[in-house]
Amino acid sequence: MATHQITVTVNGAAHAATVDSRLLLVHLIRDDLALTGTHIGCDTTHCGACTVLMDGVPVKSCTVLAVQADGAELGTVEGLAGADGMTPLQEGFQEEHGLQCGFCTPGMLMTGTALLESNPNPSEAEIREAISGNLCRCTGYVNIVKAVEYAAGKMGEGD
Amino acid sequence: MAPKTSAKICGMGHSMKRKEDPRFLQGKGNYIDDFTLPGMLWLDIVRSPIAYGKIKNIDSSKALEIPGVLAVLTGKDLEAYNLHWMPTLMSDTQMVLPTDTVMYQAQEVAGVIATSRYAAADGVAAVEVEYEPMKPVMDPFKALEDDAPVLRTDKEGKTDNHIWHWEAGDKEATDKIFDEADVVVREKMHVPRIHVASIETCGCLADFNPVEGHLTVYMTTQAPHAIRTVLALVAGHVGLSEEKIRVVSPDIGGGFGGKVPVYPGYVIAIAASVVLGTPVKWIEDRMENLQADSFARDYHMDAEIAANADGRIRALRIKTIADHGYSDAQAAPSKWPAGLFSICTGSYDLEQAYAEVDAVYTNKPPGGVAYRCSFRVTEAVHCMERVVDTLAHKIGKDPAQLREENFIPKEAFPYHSPLGWEYDSGDYQAAMDKAKEMIGYDDLRREQAEKRARGELMGIGVCSFTEVLGAGPSKDFDILGIKMFDSAEVRVHPTGKAIARFGTKSQGQGHETTYAQIIAEELGLPAAHVQVEEGDTDTAPYGLGTYASRSTPTAGAAGAMAARAIRDKAAKIAAHLLEVSEEDLDWEPGTFSVKGAPDKSVSIQDCAFAAYTNLPPGMEPGMEATNYYDPPNLTFPFGTYICVVDIDRGTGEVSVRRFVAVDDCGNIINPMIVQGQIHGGLTQGIGPALYEEMTYDEDGNNQAGSFMDYLVPTAVETPAWETGHTVTPSPHHPLGAKGVGESATVGAPPAIANAVVDALAHLGVTHVEIPIRPDRVWEILREKGVAE
């Protein structure tokens, strides 16, 4: 099987890897880079547990090949919290009880992060539409919507 | 109810933020697929493409040529160790790997062991299996016909596909009421086969150490202790002994009952690790998960109620066919083959009832897990709540009013139901009143009348359910003989911090937080200072695990009792430190003080320190207690749900405009978490009500085997749930709590189905089968001539 030399920047750190053509991005992230916060929940791009940011855009890393990410800037859940602590969105999930088992949470956080980047003050309908590619079996979504609203409110406080 | 403890202590009634959240929010959870061990190999599974047939040959040679593929395990290989069959939790049997016959599509046929997950998948694709297909039996009614082929030919003397018959109640007395009743209504309904679809699938990492003969299994299990015992019982003959088995259940990405049974994949991974002496990991993919395990429901019910002309319900009669698939692999208490289905008389005061269930084998995957349900309560509630509405429409009475006129009155508790339950407490009218007020019931009925006059289809659905939870009292409840108690072990350290371990296992319910709050309530230690652990059989006390909403009724009670034992000891130490007698002490959470001299006091932390440094003469050092709690009765939470639906006459689409859920789960430990449980349960209720069903064609092909076809509700379909509660404490639970995890899954489907029927009742519609897909509704609209 053909292999490829690729370079990806994940959460700001550059990684070089030799990968099989068929290696899925999610397996590069989880198995090769040992960033296990990104999860796998389905095989068909429906559940969104594997959502990461690729050059700022949320993608489902179970249906992106690692070679397609060559040269890309990737963001995973591990890269959200900084020296100042958790992001307003992460904080919102805890404050509003937007997670239970936690398995879909990293994907929700990445989708929510991208939403707030492009739309800092989304309506409830816009939030629901944005996360409709991320399945949650525990929370019933109401508190996830509130978590995004919490983050939008907090991020807007400085304006 | 105002909390008894301060916000610093954070006992019951505080919406404490969850202790588990920071790790989940930062990608630092530890789910099964996050574990790796040196030298770890991968298991992937060859599965049957056909539903029923003979295996003529399995050729592994091409698979073994693939780099990285080390072994292919078949039923014949396991037969050499007598591990090719395993018992189910219901004392049936199930193949681990077949030696000659496959019984359902996606059944495990062989295991490929390889050095990577990709090599293992290549190996699976290269294993060549030759089948001789046979005509499967997919319809449970046809399976019972005289000329149906006998499926379980492995069972000696089996001459039909009938598994068991169960019944409850007085048939003769019930029939007599039916014979003389003013009104009888009847409805046939199917609660279809559905799937838990937790976002994390099942998996394990088996690590056998051949030198020490020690096996560690990290696995997605809701019942780690029971699994350890089962492993010791079924694999004792190959040298696995219970003290040398450790089961670790790590963070679990949703369980909902689907992670209670033992699936063949676990056993194959363990067998491979034992044979090869190296760690072996198995992680199911989504299609395997949807097609092969974690099935629930599939009850075909024929229900009748007998009533007086004014709507006073007198008796209930239900006949049920239960499709268990190829094996009775449900997870129910041993003496309860139909689970707690006899809760079917629900919230109503009936004279008599008779319910019967016959279980049947078909060529579907083994089924019957208690999916977010205390063992068949969902089926029972759906049946009763639907047929009560049928009666309401038949006699022209408002469905809410009909319910109110038949409620068990609050003075009647403890109430003895005709099918043998002793309901602990209830105030059904209070929940109904609150739900009607929240949703504005009377206004909605006026709006409906106006809309109906204009030809618009709007329905209001009511459901007043009673659940039965907390299995259970040891005289009636066991799994494979092990009594269904649960346990807690609490240890307070010298500095006044504590660790508490439990026999249950959270899968998102937030036990690390709520159990700490229970200890805080009883001991006055801040919940933040109580570390909760579960899931490791080497350290946690023995318990039967988390499912059927049993954690709070059993292990939560054990935690309270253990904490009370510690407080009793602390009182003796406080008396010693304050140089008074124990009778002269007052207790406020966290502090003992001298009666009449409140400034003379010691804290619980002072007592903890003294337990290790300054004991009363003759007292045993240390500050810990263990409690195995055998509940005296089950708990009976209840609630009323009311929803409003609008139906699109052009497409048949049902949209849930509003949904009000009023729950009563007794005293509440953490209101935020209780509300979250209700939200999630409601969403798992709207799923089977409107979207989810595992269907098969007549050749046994699964037609909903991926998330492409098995439609789990997204944020777009899910309404903004509105919740409320009333509080009727359980009189026998130490904390007055009842459990809440499943009420909403149980109560939501009939509320939605009743709303849809209510929208169509004026057209003569009395029933619509769930899931109420647009095509089903549109067919009805077309038949009735109102489709646009």
B159-170 residue pLDDT tens: 999 999 999 999
Longest dimension (CA), chain A: 53
To the nearest whole Å, the CA of B604 is away from the closest chain A CA by: 30
To the nearest whole Å, the CA of A28 is away from the closest chain B CA by: 12
Contact B400, B206 (CB under 8 A): no
Residue B238 pLDDT level (bands cut at 50, 70, 90) = confident
To the nearest whole Å, the CA of B518 is away from the closest chain A CA by: 19
A37–B28 CB contact, under 8 Å = yes
- Of B268, B266, B301, B286, give the one whose Cα is nearest residue B74: B268
Q: Is B26 a catalytic residue?
A: no
Tell whether A60 is within 8 A of chain B (Cβ): no
Considering the candidates B94, B105, B107, B222, report the single residue annotated as catalytic.
B222
Tell whether A104 is within 8 A of chain B (Cβ): yes
B712–A137 CB contact, under 8 Å = yes
Q: Where in chain B is the domain with CATH 3.30.365.10?
A: 21-28+486-629, 384-471+634-783
Q: Is B373 a catalytic residue?
A: yes
Tell whether A149 is within 8 A of chain B (Cβ): no
Interface size A-B, in CB pairs within 8 Å, comes to: 176
Kindly list the structural domains of chain A, giving each domain's residue range(s) and its CATH number in brackets, ordered by start.
3-79 (3.10.20.30), 88-156 (1.10.150.120)
Other Cβ atoms less than 10 A from the Cβ of B178: the count is 17
pLDDT of the residue at A158? 66
For residue B322, the cross-strand partners are B299, B359
Nearest-by-CA chain A residue for B19: A94
pLDDT of the residue at B331? 82
- Quick check: ipTM above 0.95? yes
What fold does the segment set B32-134+202-283 form as a domain?
Aldehyde Oxidoreductase; domain 3 (3.90.1170)
Which sign, positive or negative, has the C-alpha torsion B613, B616, B619, B622?
A: negative
Averaged pLDDT for residues B720-730:
98
A140–B682 CB contact, under 8 Å = yes
pLDDT tens for residues B126-177?
Answer: 999 999 999 999 999 999 999 999 999 999 999 999 999 999 999 999 999 9
Nearest-by-CA chain B residue for A129: B716
Assess whether pLDDT exceeds 90 at residue B381. Answer: yes
Tell whether A63 is within 8 A of chain B (Cβ): no
Tell whether A61 is within 8 A of chain B (Cβ): no
- Give strand ranges (E) for B174-294: 183-195, 203-209, 214-219, 245-248, 280-283
DSSP string, B651-680: T--EEEEEEEEEEE-BS-S-HHHHHHHHHH
DSSP structure class, residue B252: -
Helix H or strand E segment including B358: strand B352-360
A102–B24 CB contact, under 8 Å = yes
Averaged pLDDT for residues B54-60:
98
pLDDT of the residue at B524? 98
Of B196, B198, B683, the CB nearest to A141: B683
DSSP structure class, residue B137: -
Nearest-by-CA chain B residue for A40: B200
B29–A102 CB contact, under 8 Å = yes
B27–A131 CB contact, under 8 Å = no
For A82-114, b/e burial (b = at least 16 CB within 10 A) is eeeebbbbbbbbbbbbbbbbbbbbbbbbbbbbb
Q: In chain B, which residues have their Cβ closer than 8 Å to the Cβ of A94?
A: 17-18, 21-22, 25
Mutate to test the interface with A, among B714, B742, B743 (most CBs of A within 10 A): B714
Return d(Cα A146, Cα B563) in angstroms, integer. 36
Mutate to test the interface with B, among A100, A123, A129, A146 (most CBs of B within 10 A): A100
pLDDT along chain A (159 residues), means of 10: 95 98 98 97 95 98 98 98 94 98 98 98 98 98 98 88
Q: Where in chain B is the domain with CATH 3.90.1170.50?
A: 32-134+202-283
To the nearest whole Å, the CA of A103 is away from the closest chain B CA by: 5
Helix axis angle, B604-613 relative to B557-578, nearest 10°? Answer: 70
| Radius of gyration of chain A measured on its C-alpha atoms | 16
Of A40, A129, A135, the CB nearest to B712: A135
B254–A137 CB contact, under 8 Å = yes
Considering the candidates B202, B344, B373, B665, report the single residue annotated as catalytic.
B373
Query: In chain B, how many H helices and how many E strands?
Result: 19, 32
Q: In chain A, which residues have their Cβ closer than 8 Å to the Cβ of B714?
A: 131-133, 135, 141
Query: What is the 3-class SS of A63-112, one letter each residue?
Result: HCEHHHHCCCEEECHHHCCECCECCHHHHHHHHCCCCCCCCCHHHHHHHH
Residue B61: helix, strand or coil by DSSP?
A: helix
Nearest-by-CA chain B residue for A89: B25
Return d(Cα B729, Cα B637) in angstroms, integer. 9
Q: What is the pTM of this model?
A: 0.97
Residue B521: helix, strand or coil by DSSP?
A: helix
Q: Is B202 a catalytic residue?
A: no
B117–A80 CB contact, under 8 Å = no
**How far is C-alpha A122 from the chain's CA centre?**
18
Assess whether pLDDT exceeds 70 at residue B51. Answer: yes
Contact B297, B321 (CB under 8 A): no
What fold does the segment set B384-471+634-783 form as a domain?
Aldehyde Oxidoreductase; domain 4 (3.30.365)
Distance set, CA B786 to CA B253, B431, B457 (Å): 45, 36, 10
Q: In chain A, which residues have their Cβ closer than 8 Å to the Cβ of B31?
A: 36, 39, 103
Q: In chain A, which residues have their Cβ closer than 8 Å to the Cβ of B708?
A: 44, 46
Assess whether pLDDT exceeds 90 at residue B368. Answer: no
Task: Give the burial class of B204: count Cβ atoms within 10 A of its Cβ; 0-12 exposed, 13-18 middle, 19 or more buried.
Answer: buried
Return d(Cα B732, Cα B754) in angstroms, integer. 34
Other Cβ atoms less than 10 A from the Cβ of B170: the count is 16
B715–A124 CB contact, under 8 Å = no
Mutate to test the interface with B, among A19, A91, A103, A129 (most CBs of B within 10 A): A103
Tell whether A4 is within 8 A of chain B (Cβ): no
Q: In chain B, which residues have their Cβ closer than 8 Å to the Cβ of A138?
A: 254, 508, 676, 680
Residue B508: helix, strand or coil by DSSP?
A: coil
Which ranges constitute the DSSP H helices of B67-116? 75-79
Q: Beta strands B280-283 and B41-47: pairing type?
A: parallel
B287–A27 CB contact, under 8 Å = no
Assess whether pLDDT exceeds 80 at residue B434. Answer: yes
- Give strand ranges (E) for B435-518: 457-466, 478-479, 482-483, 486-492, 498-502
Assess whether pLDDT exceeds 90 at residue B367. Answer: no
Return d(Cα B444, Cα B740) in angstroms, integer. 28
Contact A108, A131 (CB under 8 A): yes
Assess whether pLDDT exceeds 90 at residue B1. Answer: no
Considering the candidates B228, B684, B742, B773, report the single residue annotated as catalytic.
B742
Bond into B414 cis (ω within 30):
yes
B25–A127 CB contact, under 8 Å = no
Nearest-by-CA chain B residue for A49: B199
Greater pLDDT, B484 or A158: B484
Q: Beta strands B313-323 and B352-360: pairing type?
A: parallel
B33–A30 CB contact, under 8 Å = yes
To the nearest whole Å, the CA of A84 is away from the closest chain B CA by: 13
**How far is C-alpha B595 from the chain's CA centre?**
47
- Of B230, B205, B229, give the one whose Cα is nearest residue B216: B205
Q: Which CATH number fits domain B21-28+486-629: 3.40.50.720, 3.40.50.300, 3.30.365.10, 3.30.70.580?
A: 3.30.365.10
Of B199, B200, B714, the CB nearest to A132: B714
pLDDT tens for residues B176-223?
Answer: 999 999 999 999 999 999 999 999 999 999 999 999 999 999 999 999
Q: Is B94 a catalytic residue?
A: no
pLDDT tens for residues B500-529?
Answer: 999 999 999 999 999 999 999 999 999 999
DSSP structure class, residue B312: -
Which ranges constitute the DSSP H helices of B596-742? 604-613, 671-686
Nearest-by-CA chain A residue for B289: A42
Q: HSE of B210 in the Cβ direction (CA atoms, 13 Å)?
A: 9
Tell me how far apart the terminal alpha carbons of chain B are, to the nearest angstrom. 51
Tell whether A132 is within 8 A of chain B (Cβ): yes
